[in-house]
Structure 1
């Protein structure tokens, strides 16, 4: 992509020269100085990694282009470039370096290098190309088909900052050039093959790059009529990130190639791949602290739309639990304190989440067959908001079953209602060791999205395992939120439809008694800023039931 922009800029400059005459033309020509004295230094690895570090300098040069002799190219402003050659064995390459000066005037120098590489990944190549040629598409039907997280540190192997819900971009401008992209991989050699992106003449750009390609700034990610398609060369090489869940293989695309979503990089680490699905990770070009995640499938977008699940036949979910063992349908005129506890106050540091509310018993009411937990803008004990929170701790605790609630969510940016569970040994071991199962989380600033989450050691707080889903009319209509919890899995459903499944096992803290929690928080780490116009709003619960 950078090369395309550079070539475009050079053409513009040359056209300007051709349109000038007289003294002005002479002045322009005086500024066009040919780069000279090209010096090329190389540091060639001897450990079989195939890595070569180029260090190039030239008088009067402002940028450099490399043709590495293996059907790949690269550009550098300062003349330094780290290249990994992946052709097996000891191979000789003719490397061409072009130094560009002002006005696009260039000179070049060629060198010969010999590089040894012992890397090979025929299985990944077979999955990508099918042995000859294979087409891939954005897996719009899958949660997290687009996501972002930290590039290093805790949670650097998962999209913990943002994870797109299934078909989240559908109906938006992005769906015209993101979901409909066709990515074709075709075999040509042992570790090298070709890649063609067909995006119908339009590209889905990350918000940081929108302005550079003629799009409106300040409007988020944009689909722009800028054709970045065409054939590129792809090289497979070993990954160096150290991510345990990775396949250990990286794809490098030539000539600014990228995979559907432009983030200024041409290098993608393959986290998972099989015959019909692929999960990749890439470090953002202008922000190395961010890693973006993309999921792909061999099912075209129109077939994903038709079935809603990637073209696969989806069996109707069958529960393992049909015996109703506990319920509250809120038929009285007050909360049943034999089953529920009122929690009050603001906890420690806003219940650990910088929440803005002070919980009061008065904000929890029962009437007309429903439970109401109301958040209000009012001063209490130094806080600007009040709300309610109730639990079944020490009164009703259980292991495994189907947990279900029918709920109408509050309204207003800044509200953060939840239906969730904590381990019964919470007081003894603390959090996150006790484990947390969030059956429903929702925030008023994203009314069309809900999520479920699992918190446990190594995956807690911002690094929780999250499963999102889209939702319509969450505040004006009742919806049923369900978790089916077994020793092998925790499955989350919205109105009876599965949207997220978490693999449970004996090493995780989800194999003991848990208790139920209902609350409406305000602001905090997930709720964000509260709308200045917010006055009050309630979460209405029709029932809570447990089946075993």
Structure 2
């Protein structure tokens, strides 16, 4: 439903002053745009939903006599320039909100007419998983995936079912080595989570790669895509909104990334909005419609590894099930396999707050359940359990798979890990440590896989993280694939960290398993004052060799 918005129109004339000097500059006829009007269409607006369908999308059309360009200032920190006067914008603040939109129609010599209008829009969209993947839950830097084919591409914008760059797709490292394009691969795009809001910082190392249609506006010759000097510094706000491209769920995530203040991702095409086609912990694929040609769609592939090839596909050499613990007998954990470690042991070297008992771990209905509780126990405020296979089952190399569901609550610190069997003789970190999975309730969906050895341990440990949804409500598969050459860390069969093993490493001998839920400490962090109890459930531990 289109509504012609009543507009308060004011003409802003730039005053051209005659100076006292005699120089005569011929700048041509100065023409001010007239009859500026603006119409808006709130997407999904009906009698039942007068403020729209919740997408927050509004389509604008501005027309004026003698206008060359139209600038839309949306009143929410975002703005956009359109050559045609037609544009769309997602308003992202949840709920029903009023926005004052200002339109500037520019004529020759920069003179402009302005109009303001107010739109009322309903927005009800969120994508918390995309926010986590984009920022890593804290801060994450992205780069152009130069090693991947199609890391830059273009195709038609509105082809039915279209989701790929069929007009042009860059070959791996195609833009390297040329002064007109090599800056493309050095850009750093950092997304941070600040007070639950996304903040974007663009470091272009002084130059940005401009599309040919825009290069002349920034000092280029307008003949080709060019690297040009550009100051893109300063933090900008980012919002996520619902996509309206019509691409299917298989083609697109359905989420649009919007950057305030004219911000953009590396390749300048005069747009600040990018539809996220797909995103994982380490890769992102986006699609954008350029500001000067709505018939095209440009594509970018980003990665968290600058200029490096993506990790090779994971293939394990270990296929034979050598040992497993299925937890299929209810009661206490099998004493022929598991030992209880009792006590606090001076915080276990990590300032942990719990006292381990032999009562907080049970096997029930096919799962091992370790429960941390807020209760007074032997002079401590929390109880839990820690069990190990030390002296009962130890091994070297293999693929370990653990299917588990993790506890929740600020301060919880579950861990499924392995320690060198010679720990009592050589101590830590000389013995080596392989953390199959660690987690903290203070970073709910972030999974850690970590190695500790003499050169890298404690706060300087060799590790990686990945974001996984529903770690406390669903079972996930946590894997370590360990050989003399390499150690892989995976969640649900997706690699997120690797280590190149070597003969000098302590990670080449027998290790044993440890399963525990700690509370607080140097990693677990502050414990929620209303914490009562929460459990880690383990379906099985399996070793393939």
**Normalised TM-score (structure 1):** 0.50
| 1:173 maps to 2:198 | yes
**1:533 corresponds to:** 530
Q: Distance in 2 between matches of 1:335 and 1:182?
A: 61
**1:453 corresponds to:** 450
**2:371 corresponds to:** 374
Deviations 1:2-48 (A, max 9, x none): xxxxxxxxxxxxxxxxxxxxxxxxxxxxxxxxxxxxxxxxxxxxxxx
| 1:470 maps to 2:467 | yes
Q: CA deviation at 1:184?
A: 3.3
**2:438 corresponds to:** 441
SS at match of 1:351: helix
Deviations 1:415-438 (A, max 9, x none): 000111100100100000000111
Q: Distance in 2 between matches of 1:308 and 1:501?
A: 14
**2:362 corresponds to:** 365
SS at match of 2:359: helix
Q: Distance in 2 between matches of 1:438 and 1:452?
A: 6
Structure 1 residues 183 and 464, CA, compared in 2 at 3 Å: closer, same or farther?
farther
**2:208 corresponds to:** 184
Structure 1 residues 314 and 351, CA, compared in 2 at 3 Å: closer, same or farther?
closer
Kindly indicate whether the alpha-carbon contact (under 8 Å) linking 1:421 and 1:516 is maintained by their aligned counterparts in 2.
Answer: yes
Structure 1 residues 139 and 391, CA, compared in 2 at 3 Å: closer, same or farther?
farther
Q: CA deviation at 1:305?
A: 5.7
| 1:133 maps to 2:181 | yes
Q: 2:520 aligns with which of 519, 523, 542?
A: 523
| Number of residue pairs aligned between Structure 1 and Structure 2 | 312
Deviations 1:83-136 (A, max 9, x none): xxxxxxxxxxxxxxxxxxxxxxxxxxxxxxxxxxxxxxxxxxxx9864553213
Q: 2:396 aligns with which of 394, 399, 405?
A: 399
Structure 1 residues 527 and 130, CA, compared in 2 at 3 Å: closer, same or farther?
farther
Q: CA deviation at 1:455?
A: 0.7
SS at match of 2:443: coil
Q: Distance in 1 between matches of 2:349 and 2:439?
A: 18
Deviations 1:364-402 (A, max 9, x none): 000000000000001112111001111111111111100
Structure 1 residues 407 and 138, CA, compared in 2 at 3 Å: closer, same or farther?
farther
Kindly indicate whether the alpha-carbon contact (under 8 Å) linking 2:188 and 2:202 is maintained by their aligned counterparts in 1.
Answer: no
Q: How does 1:145-184 map to 2 (within 5 A)?
A: 173-174=198-199, 178=202, 184=208
Deviations 1:148-177 (A, max 9, x none): xxxxxxxxxxxxxxxx9xxx89x96335x5
Q: Distance in 2 between matches of 1:433 and 1:527?
A: 24
Q: CA deviation at 1:137?
A: 6.1
Q: Distance in 2 between matches of 1:313 and 1:500?
A: 12
Structure 1 residues 509 and 130, CA, compared in 2 at 3 Å: closer, same or farther?
farther
SS at match of 2:522: helix
Kindly indicate whether the alpha-carbon contact (under 8 Å) linking 2:285 and 2:302 is maintained by their aligned counterparts in 1.
Answer: no
Structure 1 residues 449 and 137, CA, compared in 2 at 3 Å: closer, same or farther?
farther
Kindly indicate whether the alpha-carbon contact (under 8 Å) linking 1:202 and 1:224 is maintained by their aligned counterparts in 2.
Answer: no
Kindly indicate whether the alpha-carbon contact (under 8 Å) linking 1:448 and 1:471 is maintained by their aligned counterparts in 2.
Answer: yes
Kindly indicate whether the alpha-carbon contact (under 8 Å) linking 1:397 and 1:515 is maintained by their aligned counterparts in 2.
Answer: yes
Q: 1:203 aligns with which of 235, 242, 248?
A: 235
Q: Distance in 2 between matches of 1:324 and 1:309?
A: 34
Q: Distance in 2 between matches of 1:426 and 1:204?
A: 49
SS at match of 1:362: coil
| 1:342 maps to 2:390 | no
**1:318 corresponds to:** 315
**2:40 corresponds to:** none
Deviations 1:56-88 (A, max 9, x none): xxxxxxxxxxxxxxxxxxxxxxxxxxxxxxxxx
**Normalised TM-score (structure 2):** 0.50
Q: CA deviation at 1:196?
A: 3.8
SS at match of 2:348: helix
Structure 1 residues 181 and 346, CA, compared in 2 at 3 Å: closer, same or farther?
same
Kindly indicate whether the alpha-carbon contact (under 8 Å) linking 1:203 and 1:228 is maintained by their aligned counterparts in 2.
Answer: no
Unaligned runs of 5+ in 2: 1-174, 211-226, 238-257, 265-281, 288-298
Q: 2:352 aligns with which of 330, 350, 355?
A: 355
Q: Distance in 1 between matches of 2:515 and 2:417?
A: 7
Q: Distance in 1 between matches of 2:455 and 2:303?
A: 35
Q: CA deviation at 1:517?
A: 0.8
Kindly indicate whether the alpha-carbon contact (under 8 Å) linking 1:406 and 1:480 is maintained by their aligned counterparts in 2.
Answer: yes
**1:414 corresponds to:** 411
| 1:513 maps to 2:510 | yes
Q: Distance in 2 between matches of 1:198 and 1:344?
A: 59
Structure 1 residues 360 and 307, CA, compared in 2 at 3 Å: closer, same or farther?
same
Structure 1 residues 383 and 180, CA, compared in 2 at 3 Å: closer, same or farther?
farther
More helix per residue: 1 or 2? 1
Q: Distance in 2 between matches of 1:542 and 1:459?
A: 31
Q: Distance in 2 between matches of 1:451 and 1:179?
A: 28
Kindly indicate whether the alpha-carbon contact (under 8 Å) linking 1:325 and 1:546 is maintained by their aligned counterparts in 2.
Answer: yes
**1:23 corresponds to:** none
SS at match of 2:466: strand
